[in-house]
Amino acid sequence: MAGTVSSTKTPPWSLCTEPAVFHDKRTGRHLCRDHFISDVESRVAETIRGRRLIVPGDHVVIALSGGKDSTALLMILARLLPALEGVTLSAFTIDEGIHGYREDTIRSADELVKKYRLTHTMISFPDLFGGTLDVFLEGREPEACSICGILRRKALNVGAERAGATKLATGHNLDDEAQSVFMNVLRGDLPRLLRDSGSDSQGRFIPRIKPLMFISEKEIAVYLMLHGAWADLPECPYAVHALRGEVRRMLAVLESKHPGTMLHLMESRAQIEAHCDGSLVAEPMRHCAECGDPCSGEICQLCNLKKTL
Amino acid sequence: MKIILPDKTIRYQKVPNPVPVEALIRDLGFDPIEVLVARNGTLVTEDALLEESDEIRIIRIAHGG
């Protein structure tokens, strides 16, 4: 049958004769287990090297939710660690207080850091903000992702500071990044499209890095499956309310029909970024009159939100 | 064909022999980008051909993490 591969025949564009576990539709390559793992790890290493995400002597703290992306991030960084001169790794986990969801992922995070013998700290919304996300969202479910995003941003910064880190690594993957590009285009928010989370705080926050930004969600799932590290974890119950959910489905269909769509969105952002040369994100950064954190207005989003919780 | 769905329910389904993975998962209502497929416990690509006697597991890639 045209376009298909029998179980006994070596597919075209294979690197070896071992059975393929992944077919990259964009390049046409079929990769066996070992070639796939090596390909993912070398692409992450190249992202780190090419963008100077980690430099000798860094203390990288991983924002470890225990879900698939941050789990894969930890595994890959631990694997690359010997090649990263004088770099230390640790992890912290945010417990937002989402009943029926976070319990499983926190358990998973706990097991992982024990296995890799990493220092692990916990930080919770009740500790930081006086209540769980479930309580804050009662009657405000449609705003879930906006509210959680503002609170999590603060929690991430506090967690990285408490860990004494020089870099904060998050598990954002290619799908996440492409969705963000598309969402900001849909919102008409060009400054936000170009603003990098690690560059908009005038050195006040610990820089964030996204080593998995060119690894697709599917590749991450395959990587975990091949390491026996895949866990059937629940999806966030509030995800159904998010614009991101709609964008995710739309992009999934486009990527399926037109392989490379997500990567092209990332390339578009890079090209716009190069042409704008920072001019669109040059609005002066101010400091919140209440908490002193960097923000674009007089009062930061977090302080405004706190008044409504 | 024995098919284990993401919610762990088991379905026995008559399929063309052989059937491409992608055709099967689309027929079951899934988008290939959102699921992985294992044949007899081993991951297979979307262009692999499945036999009637294979045991297939479909794993949904949950968002988040």
Q: List, for residues A213-269, the tens digit of each pLDDT value.
A: 999 999 999 999 999 998 887 778 887 767 788 888 899 889 988 999 999 999 998
From A71, A225, A255, residue closest to B43, measured CB to CB = A225
From B42, B43, B61, residue closest to A217, measured CB to CB = B61
Distance CA A133, CA A309 (A): 10
Q: List, for residues B14-60, the tens digit of each pLDDT value.
A: 999 899 999 999 999 998 888 999 999 999 999 999 999 999 999 99
H-run or E-run covering A73: helix A68-80
Q: How many helices (DSSP H) and strands (DSSP E) are in chain B? A: 1, 7
- What percent of chain A lies above the pLDDT cut of 70? 90
Residue A2 has pLDDT above 50, yes or no: no
A-proximal residues of B, 3-62, CB under 8 Å:
18, 20, 31-34, 36, 38-39, 42-49, 51, 59, 61-62
Q: How far is B29 from chain A (nearest CA, A)?
A: 13
Q: How far is B39 from chain A (nearest CA, A)?
A: 10
Distance CA A99, CA A134 (A): 7
The residue among A6 and A250 whose pLDDT is bigger is: A250
Please give the residue range of the domain that contains residue A184.
37-306
Domain assignment present for B65: no
Residue from A139, A147, A155, A124 nearest A242 by CA: A147
Residue B62 has pLDDT above 80, yes or no: no
**Two structure tokens written together for A14:** 């294979």
Return the pLDDT at A127: 95
CATH code for the domain in which residue B42 is found: 3.10.20.30
Q: List, for residues A37-70, the tens digit of each pLDDT value.
A: 999 999 999 999 999 999 999 999 999 999 999 9
Return the pLDDT at A10: 62
The count of structural domains within chain A is: 1
Q: List, for residues B4-25, the tens digit of each pLDDT value.
A: 999 899 999 999 989 999 999 9
CATH code for the domain in which residue A217 is found: 3.40.50.620
The reply to whether A233 touches chain B by the CB within 8 Å rule is yes
Q: How far is A285 from chain B (nearest CA, A)?
A: 30
Please give the residue range of the domain that contains residue B31.
2-60
Domain assignment present for B47: yes
As to burial, measured by CB atoms within 10 angstroms (0-12 exposed, 13-18 middle, 19+ buried), residue A60 is buried
- The answer to whether the beta carbons of residues B20 and A23 sit under 8 Å apart is no
The count of structural domains within chain B is: 1
- Rounded to two decimals, the ipTM of the complex is 0.91
pLDDT band at A309 (very low <50, low <70, confident <90, very high): confident
